Amino acid sequence: MKEHGMKTYRIAAIPGDGIGKEVVPAGQAVLQALAAAQGNFNFEFTSFDWGGDYYREHGVMMPEDGLDALRGMDAILFGSAGDPHIPDHITLWGLRLKICQGFDQYANVRPTRILPGIKSPLGRCKREDLNWVIVRENSEGEYSGVGGRVHQGHPIEVATDVCMMTRVGVERIMRFAFRLAQSRPRRLLTVVTKSNAQRHAMVMWDEIALQISSEFPDVAWDKVLVDACTDRMVNRPASLDTLVATNLHADVLSDLAAALAGSLGIAPTGNIDPERRYPSMFEPIHGSAFDIMGQGLANPVGTFWSGVMMLEHLGEVAAAQRLMRAIEAVTANPALRTRDLGGQAGTEEVTNAVCRLLAQDDAQQAIAG
Ligand code: IPM
Ligand code: MG
């Protein structure tokens, strides 16, 4: 029974493939525990069995009208798309990119920090030196899907992938990135580019960055070539805060960022429609990890952290902070580390620990209050 006046968030859960089927239910359990502990909102989850198994049965990763089923939701919690027996471009374009592009989730946001207890491979990097958010253009650029192949199988075969950059697309991602940088304490934005080699689209990208910067006089910003950016991330991590980059550049940089922060297994992401015309989608970036799927070994922290991003998007800031505290308490505890972090704990153990901490946090706050 719904309590009077209590907000209910309708969330689509799409586990997808591989360990997505383990970490998404774990994420749901944690979000339900959080809602119970907070007491001022509810979650109503609807699960969708789309992905590789669905493809084997129906010949498509998700139904043709699948987006209609998601349209009315407040957000989407996604696991991963990828199947060892189906080509990657089919699983990816048939599900995840279909949702990202169908719902014009043009801002992909990837926060990276070194969580307590996690060791960065960078010997000289202190925890406070690495606190980044990478904003990835998520709707066009190198992933626009424009291109084709002719003369297939013949010696004269030709293939193209055209990087499409639109003025509207670049303006809106720049504006989003400047606004995000403005909301963070350092008010610092680094625009990643490659306009020395790519003379058209990247030059327009730079011009538009300059143009949009005039709307944000209180944000300090600079420009860096993508190759030089990798060096800066490794050798001067504290010189960066918010970054904005094209779809492909940010894809590469965000893996480097996650690795430098100690683990790809715990990194979260949000595919955001900033205008809120459509539901936004939150997911761990780790992928399907077939080698460990179905064994209860997957690290659910990336999904929990994605849940924090979802709560922030929904405006539940206090709940987001509470979940982040529980996540950090878990990463700080060696007994609660999964194998990818050198520990022995399983998915269920970590999930139960976070649920317990959320309830304790409640008790502590009640005592404090
Ligand atoms: C990511 C992933 C995907 C991407 C893969 C699975 C195609 O690497 O989200 O970063 O490149 O977008
Ligand atoms: Mg990637």
Taking the domains of the chain in order of start, what are their residue ranges?
A: 1-105+276-369, 120-261
Q: How far is CA 23 from CA 11, 106, 302, in A?
A: 15, 25, 8
Please identify, by atom number, the ligand 1 atom nearest to the C-alpha of residue 108: 9
List, in sequence order, every beta strand (DSSP E) within the chain. 7-16, 41-47, 75-80, 107-113, 131-137, 141-150, 158-164, 188-193, 220-225, 242-245, 268-272, 280-284
The residue count of the chain comes to: 369
Collect all residues with Cβ–Cβ distance below 8 Å to 97 and sequence separation of at least 6. Answer: 143, 145
Ligand 2 center from residue 254 Cα (angstroms): 7
Distance, CA of 240 to CA of 135 (rounded, Å)? 13
List, in sequence order, every beta strand (DSSP E) within 194-337. 220-225, 242-245, 268-272, 280-284
CATH code matching the domain that covers 120-261, chosen among 2.40.10.500, 3.40.190.10, 3.40.50.300, 3.40.718.10: 3.40.718.10
Who surrounds ion ligand 2 at CB < 5 A?
A: 251
Q: Quote the radius of gyration of the chain (alpha carbons, Å).
A: 21
Ligand 1 center from residue 215 Cα (angstroms): 31
The reported pLDDT for the residue numbered 344 is 94
Whose Cα sits closest to atom 12 in ligand 1? 251
Whose Cα sits closest to atom 3 in ligand 1? 251
Total-model pTM? 0.94
**Token pair of 147, please?**
């291109």
Please identify, by atom number, the ligand 1 atom nearest to the C-alpha of residue 248: 11
State whether the beta carbon of 60 lies less than 6 angstroms from ligand 1. no
| Residue 251 contacts residue 88 (beta carbons within 8 Å) | no
Q: Is there a common fold for 1-105+276-369 and 120-261?
A: yes
The CATH superfamily holding the domain 1-105+276-369 is Isopropylmalate Dehydrogenase (3.40.718.10)
Distance, CA of 286 to CA of 38 (rounded, Å)? 29
The reported pLDDT for the residue numbered 229 is 98
State whether the beta carbon of 285 lies less than 6 angstroms from ligand 1. yes
Please identify, by atom number, the ligand 1 atom nearest to the C-alpha of residue 251: 10
The residues of the chain scoring below 50 in pLDDT are 1, 367-369
Nearest one of 200, 183, 180 to 191, comparing CA atoms: 180
Nearest one of 196, 136, 192, 198 to 163, comparing CA atoms: 198
| Residue 340 contacts residue 303 (beta carbons within 8 Å) | no
State whether the beta carbon of 251 lies less than 6 angstroms from ligand 1. yes
The residue behind tokens 């309590």 is 3
The reported pLDDT for the residue numbered 368 is 45
**Token pair of 12, please?**
């689509």
- Which one of the ligands is nearest to 259 CA? 2
Ligand 2 center from residue 250 Cα (angstroms): 8
Please identify, by atom number, the ligand 1 atom nearest to the C-alpha of residue 255: 10
The residue behind tokens 């297994």 is 265
State whether the beta carbon of 22 lies less than 6 angstroms from ligand 1. no
